């Protein structure tokens, strides 16, 4: 939009005046943020209204992305970037004596997700708007986000994340779009005079779902899509006063907190209530909107696409069936055809414990009508497929089995498309996790490799790099990230490589300043910044990284006078509060960090920083400063990874196993520009099949490794008698489930290679550039365009 600096200043001051009835110098930073947010909303309000109208008038097919997690990050800067107002606002504020970055940092970062899955959903929202796809998000407005992490005595402590304390400037409550979601009670089918059956309910627990809409601004295209987040409230009723406190609590609990357990199927009833709550409210509002503009249901499949992001929203399938049959009087067959036309599903993990199942007893009690529908889906599936595939396979793959409702099976059976998130992952879905269903529906399976919002992760997070790229190849890459390829010839340009090194230095200085200010640790900026940022999970093997730190520590202690290439090891990770082992590793990292950081012999040659409360905003600070990207999961376990893509786009070289999208990064940027190592998937599977993995053999066969492991239990690392023993036992006594010891030697070899290679800065920067240049490959815009073409069948802008 068009705006002068003078106009902006005038508008901003008047916003302050309207909101606070006082002058600018009498406001707080958060107050200034809220005023600025309101103003940006006002600037964008026509676009939001117009977008909705445009889609309606053109009868554009709508995509609804259902996700129990969204991690949008702070929105002020990204909205301004997309509205093309960032530099005007920055300049205007400066003229008013204010600093944009300071104001921006006061914005709460909504932690409505755990990790990769939730951030992916947010990157895709941004991409849909930027591609002019009529894309809507559908999720939960958690009153409290993922816990705030602090360390006390090195242990993780969880504090509530009161992100709505000052309200949320970006949201609009829409009471007129509320709907009722029913739980529990009794249900029966009542024959009607016309012979049809009508579902009757009694004694249900009703919850009012109220939507809060957040505008998602497209990049320089005057499009604003909607992310709809549902909040659970008491239904309006004359008898409202008779709700007992217990009933009130049960209702408000539904949208109170995000489940902090990621990659783990939480068995709790509340989780199932959350899942049905946002699935039902979302589908009801979709069908209501659809009916307002269409006659009958016939064209539903052509006008609506519903995407199921992991299994949590799978109940959209029986819920759509319920609405079509019970409220719109479709036959089963018509309803089923429409439902499967509309639905598509993405799987994000092969970990068994993350595949959701619900005990039938609990499910039936909580969702009796939905359960009836699932029973019928199950019955028909068995009747149809048994003659073709036999009873054994059908038992294995049906929606109901072993006394459980199996969400992944229901999602595959009720969708027309099932995708994994990297080629290897999709292959493992076909051959392992969902192989039975792949036999039944081979045509449904496809791959959609994950992507990242380059706008946030490069343009906003790394402005020094973005400016250098602009100066070098012009600014078209900002719309078409694949143009980053044209940077590759600058591998031969010494001046450019020098500037690239300067950019990295600037970013390291910014991170070092943050670490100094918040943790009191002083970091050298000429060290290798070796970064591992992701959820704390055994399969992601932060432990392997700790072993490398201990190895480096012992090298210096043994040979204090020998020169070493300085390193800074940086961690960011939250552990699920109930994940005992992950919390033990957090304690270990913190203890090792103290031991190393305080040792005068070590000095500034080796530092370890575990930055607390990792999330989107801290990632934006760490990623641009990274030299080395640790992507060291056990081969087969990381479905894709997305921090690997963000780090490469910022010029970090991957130290990576042959897992998930690491493989694709190596292909795109050239393996010679990364540090691959470790077991391949087939070797991991061979160990499983043969049962011949012996962790102790690696321990006994490698004195260096033995010394490291022994240091966990012999007092070398002080203050971890229990934690150290527990970790030691997991490796030796319980035979190292994730093959940490098997990969140790190959990992260390690459780490040593890194120390050597880093000293040749021109060559290192050439390789960093190869990564940046190849990163366009992983732009979310491209990934979403593939979803649009292959799965949702919706039109979109071309990226040129």
**HEC assignment per residue over 366-428:** HCHHHHHHHHHHHHHHHHHHHHHHCHHHHHHHCCEECCEEEHHHHHHHCCCEEEECCHHHHHH
Contact with ligand GPK (CB under 6 A) among 71, 120, 325, 684: 120
Kindly indicate which of the ranges 142-150, 183-191, 347-355, 509-517 contains the residues binding ligand GPK, using the contact rule CB under 6 A: 347-355
Q: How far is the CB of 350 from ligand GPK (least distance, A)?
A: 9
The per-residue DSSP string of 170-239 comes to: TEEE-GGG-EEEEESSEEEEEEPTTS-EEEEEES-EEEEEEEEEEEEE-SSSS-EEEEEEEEEEPPP-TT
CA proximity to 445, closest of 404, 408, 407, 392? 408
Which residue in 143, 322, 607, 646 is the catalytic one? 646
d(CA 629, CA 631): 6
d(CA 355, CA 334): 30
Which residue in 430, 504, 540, 777 is the catalytic one? 540
Which residue in 141, 642, 657, 796 is the catalytic one? 642
Q: Give me 327's structure tokens.
A: 């409220």
Per rule CB under 6 A, is residue 313 in the interface with ligand GPK? no
Do the Cβ atoms of 355 and 426 come closer than 8 Å? no
Q: Is 421 or 611 the residue whose CB approaches ligand GPK more closely?
A: 421
646 catalytic per annotation: yes
Largest CA distance in the chain: 94
Q: How far is the CB of 165 from ligand GPK (least distance, A)?
A: 26
Q: Is 115 or 282 the residue whose CB approaches ligand GPK more closely?
A: 115
Region 434-453 residues binding ligand GPK, contact defined as CB under 6 A: 450
Do the Cβ atoms of 182 and 193 come closer than 8 Å? no
Kindly indicate which of the ranges 232-240, 346-354, 456-464, 663-671 contains the residues binding ligand GPK, using the contact rule CB under 6 A: 346-354
Dihedral through CA 331, CA 300, CA 187, CA 240, nearest 10? -150
642 catalytic per annotation: yes
786 catalytic per annotation: no
Q: Is 335 or 429 the residue whose CB approaches ligand GPK more closely?
A: 429
d(CA 733, CA 775): 42
Q: Is 261 or 378 the residue whose CB approaches ligand GPK more closely?
A: 261
Contact with ligand GPK (CB under 6 A) among 31, 108, 110, 115: 115
Q: How far is the CB of 113 from ligand GPK (least distance, A)?
A: 8
CB burial readout 442-471, b (16+ within 10 A) else e: eebbebbbbbbbbbbbbbbbbbbbbebbee
Binding mask 413-432 for ligand GPK (x = CB under 6 A): --------x-----------
535 catalytic per annotation: yes
Total chain residues near ligand GPK (CB under 6 A): 19
Kindly indicate which of the ranges 129-137, 232-240, 599-607, 635-643 contains the residues binding ligand GPK, using the contact rule CB under 6 A: 635-643
Sign of the CA dihedral with 380 first, then 385, 386, and 391 last: negative
Q: Is 330 or 784 the residue whose CB approaches ligand GPK more closely?
A: 784
Contact with ligand GPK (CB under 6 A) among 250, 348, 541, 605: 348
d(CA 386, CA 590): 55
DSSP SS3 for 94: helix
Q: 798 exposed, middle or buried (CB, 10 Å; 0-12, 13-18, 19+)?
A: exposed
94 catalytic per annotation: no
d(CA 301, CA 288): 15
Kindly indicate which of the ranges 368-376, 486-494, 544-552, 640-648 contains the residues binding ligand GPK, using the contact rule CB under 6 A: 640-648
Binding mask 349-378 for ligand GPK (x = CB under 6 A): x----x------------------------
DSSP secondary structure letter of residue 114: -
Q: At what angle do helices 721-731 and 580-597 cross, to 10 degrees?
A: 120
User: Parallel, antiparallel, or unpaired for β 628-631 and 528-533?
Assistant: parallel
Q: Is 90 or 430 the residue whose CB approaches ligand GPK more closely?
A: 430
Contact with ligand GPK (CB under 6 A) among 47, 263, 613, 634: 263
- The per-type count for the chain, helices as H runs and strands as E runs, is 32, 23
Contact with ligand GPK (CB under 6 A) among 117, 373, 418, 503: 117
Per rule CB under 6 A, is residue 641 in the interface with ligand GPK? yes
Q: Give me 12's structure tokens.
A: 């901003």
Q: Is 208 or 421 the residue whose CB approaches ligand GPK more closely?
A: 421
Binding mask 654-693 for ligand GPK (x = CB under 6 A): ------x---------------------------------
Q: Is 47 or 263 the residue whose CB approaches ligand GPK more closely?
A: 263
Per rule CB under 6 A, is residue 538 in the interface with ligand GPK? no
Kindly indicate which of the ranges 108-116, 520-528, 602-610, 662-670 contains the residues binding ligand GPK, using the contact rule CB under 6 A: 108-116
Q: How far is the CB of 348 from ligand GPK (least distance, A)?
A: 4
Q: Rg (Cα) of the chain, in Å, rounded?
A: 27
495 catalytic per annotation: no
Q: How far is the CB of 660 from ligand GPK (least distance, A)?
A: 5
Which residue in 303, 348, 444, 569 is the catalytic one? 348
Q: Is 70 or 699 the residue whose CB approaches ligand GPK more closely?
A: 70
Contact with ligand GPK (CB under 6 A) among 213, 262, 630, 736: 262
DSSP SS3 for 488: helix
Q: Where are the beta strands (DSSP E) in 573-696?
A: 606-610, 628-631, 653-656, 675-676
Which residue in 508, 534, 567, 767 is the catalytic one? 534
Kindly indicate which of the ranges 13-21, 483-491, 639-647, 708-716 contains the residues binding ligand GPK, using the contact rule CB under 6 A: 639-647
Sign of the CA dihedral with 8 first, then 10, 13, and 14 last: negative
Which residue in 90, 119, 535, 569 is the catalytic one? 535
d(CA 677, CA 8): 53
Contact with ligand GPK (CB under 6 A) among 319, 638, 674, 736: 638
Kindly indicate which of the ranges 224-232, 322-330, 576-584, 638-646 contains the residues binding ligand GPK, using the contact rule CB under 6 A: 638-646
CA proximity to 97, closest of 212, 211, 12? 12
Distances (CA, A) of 755 to 27, 333, 628, 705: 50, 64, 11, 19
- Point out which residues bind ligand GPK (CB under 6 A): 114-117, 120, 262-263, 310, 348-349, 354, 421, 450, 638-642, 660
Active site amino acids: 348, 534-535, 540, 642, 646
């Amino acid at each position: 939009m068009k705006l002068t600096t003078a106009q902006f200043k005038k508008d901003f001051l008047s916003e302050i005046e309207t909101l606070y009835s006082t002058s600018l110098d009498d406001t707080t930073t958060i107050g200034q943020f809220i005023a600025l947010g309101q103003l940006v909303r006002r600037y964008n309000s026509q676009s939001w209204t117009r977008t909705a109208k445009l889609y309606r008038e053109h009868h554009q097919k709508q995509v609804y992305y259902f996700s129990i997690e969204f991690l949008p990050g702070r929105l002020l800067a990204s909205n301004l970037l997309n509205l093309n107002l960032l530099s005007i606002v920055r300049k205007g504020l400066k003229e008013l004596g204010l600093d944009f970055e300071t104001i921006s940092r006061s914005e709460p970062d909504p932690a409505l997700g755990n990790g990769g899955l939730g951030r992916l959903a947010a990157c895709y929202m941004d991409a849909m708007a930027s591609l002019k796809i009529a894309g809507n998000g559908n999720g939960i407005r958690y009153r409290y986000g993922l816990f705030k992490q602090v360390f006390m005595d090195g242990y993780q402590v969880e504090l509530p994340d009161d992100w709505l304390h000052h309200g949320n400037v970006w949201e609009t409550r829409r009471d007129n779009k509320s709907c009722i979601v029913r739980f529990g009670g009794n249900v029966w089918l009542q024959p009607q005079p016309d012979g049809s059956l009508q579902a009757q309910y009694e004694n249900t627990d009703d919850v009012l779902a109220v939507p809060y809409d957040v505008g998602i601004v497209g990049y320089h295209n005057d499009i604003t899509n909607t992310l709809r987040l549902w909040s659970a409230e008491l239904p309006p009723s004359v008898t409202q006063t008779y709700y007992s406190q217990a009933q009130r609590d049960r209702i408000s609990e539904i949208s109170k907190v995000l489940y902090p357990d990621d990659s783990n199927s939480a068995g709790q009833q509340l989780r199932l209530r959350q899942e049905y709550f946002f699935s039902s409210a979302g589908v009801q509002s979709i069908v209501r909107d659809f009916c307002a503009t269409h006659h009958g249901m016939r064209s539903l499949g052509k006008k609506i696409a519903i995407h199921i992001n992991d299994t949590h929203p799978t109940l959209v399938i029986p819920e759509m069936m319920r609405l079509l049959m019970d409220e719109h009087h479709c036959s089963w067959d018509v309803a089923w055809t429409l439902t499967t036309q509309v639905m598509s599903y993405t799987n994000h993990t092969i970990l068994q414990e993350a595949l959701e199942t619900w005990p039938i007893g609990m499910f039936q009690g909580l969702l009796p009508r939905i359960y009836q529908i699932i029973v019928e889906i199950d019955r028909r599936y068995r009747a149809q497929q048994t003659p073709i595939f036999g009873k054994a396979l059908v038992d294995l793959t049906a929606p109901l089995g072993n006394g459980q409702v199996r969400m992944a099976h229901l999602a595959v059976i009720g969708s027309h498309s099932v995708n994994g998130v990297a080629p290897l992952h999709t292959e493992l879905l076909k051959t392992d996790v969902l192989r039975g269903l792949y036999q039944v529906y081979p045509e449904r399976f496809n791959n959609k490799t994950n992507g990242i919002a380059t706008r946030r992760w490069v343009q906003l997070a790394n402005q020094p790099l973005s400016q250098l790229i602009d100066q070098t190849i012009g600014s078209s890459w900002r719309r078409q990230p694949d143009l980053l390829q044209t940077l590759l010839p600058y591998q031969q340009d010494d001046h450019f490589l020098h500037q690239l090194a300067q950019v990295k230095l600037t970013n390291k200085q910014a991170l070092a300043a943050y670490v100094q200010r918040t943790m009191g640790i002083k970091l050298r900026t000429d060290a290798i910044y070796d970064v591992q940022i992701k959820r704390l999970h055994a399969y992601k093997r932060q432990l392997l990284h700790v072993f490398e730190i201990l190895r480096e520590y012992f090298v210096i202690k043994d040979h204090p006078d020998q020169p070493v290439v300085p390193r800074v090891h940086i961690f960011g990770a939250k552990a699920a509060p109930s994940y005992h082992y992950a919390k033990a590793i957090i304690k270990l990292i913190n203890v090792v960090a103290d031991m190393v950081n305080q040792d005068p012999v070590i000095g500034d040659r080796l530092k370890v920083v575990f930055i607390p409360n990792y999330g989107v905003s801290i990632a934006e600070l760490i990623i641009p400063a990274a030299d080395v990207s640790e992507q060291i999961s056990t081969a087969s376990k990381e479905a894709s990874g997305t921090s690997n893509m963000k780090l490469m786009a910022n010029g970090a070289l991957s130290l990576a196993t042959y897992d998930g999208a690491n493989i694709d990064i190596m292909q795109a940027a050239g393996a010679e520009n990364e540090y691959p190592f470790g077991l391949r998937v087939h070797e991991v599977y061979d160990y499983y099949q043969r049962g011949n993995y012996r962790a102790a053999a690696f321990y006994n066969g490698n004195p260096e490794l033995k010394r490291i492991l022994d240091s966990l239990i012999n007092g070398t690392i002080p203050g971890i008698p229990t934690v150290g023993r527990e970790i030691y036992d997991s490796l030796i006594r319980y035979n190292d489930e994730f093959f940490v010891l098997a990969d140790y030697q190959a990992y260390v070899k690459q780490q040593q290679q890194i120390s050597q290679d880093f000293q040749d800065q021109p060559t290192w920067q050439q390789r960093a550039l190869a990564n940046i240049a190849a990163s366009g490959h992983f732009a979310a815009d491209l990934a979403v365009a593939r979803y649009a073409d292959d799965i949702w069948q919706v039109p979109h802008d071309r990226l040129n």
